[in-house]
Structure 1
């Protein structure tokens, strides 16, 4: 089954010290990123604190690069650990770049930028902030590959719709974190296209059914009246789930297993 690579919607706060960010917002929107523009960089820490949660902060700086320092320091002073990317025009001194990184920025990029590369960097930083080192998210015997846009249970593909994939990706990126229905709706839908929030319960029901049929241990827990959370199942639960797997899951596509095997051999 082919998946439409729209990806889970990231939600970011974006601010600039000079030009409008409308063009960049539109370009990132084509990659599924929801952008909240902040008019003044000085207001950024307050906006992030009051209007979050956000996956990432993006600062667009002209010159000098050190003008980003107060906002970054204020974010970190308030205990905010979300990733911060600074983009910059011109050719700043190395000392300025070092100062921005030491202040708490995670990456500094220079114009001209390719939006696809910027988006990939944003995804990588967001994953690492949640403890994932690569595009493969693992929980129990379930593996979600963001690059291949595929979900596997013990190496066998599970047929999910694009929206079901996005829903599971959101859960697995926030493993151990309670997600409310409102949080799902914000990440998965634009305001103009959002259906009733009961759709969240529908997705959970479908995911549980499909994962269970593929031999996956239960990884989605309901917190009644609040939302859902992904948790790590026990080895006993995984073994019990494998015994009742239905033989209708597709085998892993060629190359996917080989790539994982290569990585395993490389680290042995």
Structure 2
């Protein structure tokens, strides 16, 4: 049976290239199967129903920053597991698992580059890293991103994707809300634009802090945007909420954001906004 074992040992390599996970992707919008390659070529937007899939920092940087201009900024060092928190697992173990799965230090990554020739510092939150939750590392990365933007005298753009504050860091995570607010004020004092792009989902403490403080508020189509959950609100006010409640389109209709932009148009739109804001502030 040695020959059979040899064949079996060879099979995983062949099968790995042809699994459903690598060749196909089930759209979360329409439920249809889409070729993974076709989805990636379409900006991770379903070619059938236009559903915007969640993507992380590498994809964002590749789509938005001019070729050859992207330089990832080093992640700041912060105290890890400051409360020695443990639930069903140690917080330190959860961090290790998240890092091994995502190859990132934490949920917010900053990069320096240009968008159609405009210098920017671009921050991207990754929902795949512990739900994009905001803790010490995310707060410090945000502040460092702002400091780099001030030093380079360019806009700071943040792509938000978060379930809120990181519960394993308790009050320390909530303290990142005023910290990031002060950082935004520093950016304004320097006369530099702060642009927010809300992606699916953005909620909780992030929504209550830097996600809604942009000079310009942009959102991707049909993104879920909320401070607290729909069921919590309905049970509190004892009313049924509209079907499109807490979506990008609802926020736009009610004047809470400035525009909803399709992913394929984001780079061009950001370049236009940056051009307007930097020109206006230079003139002032």
Query: Normalising by structure 2, what TM-score?
Result: 0.29
Determine which structure has greater relative contact order: mean sequence separation of CA pairs < 8 Å that are 6+ residues apart, divided by chain length: 1
When normalised by structure 1's length, the TM-score is 0.31
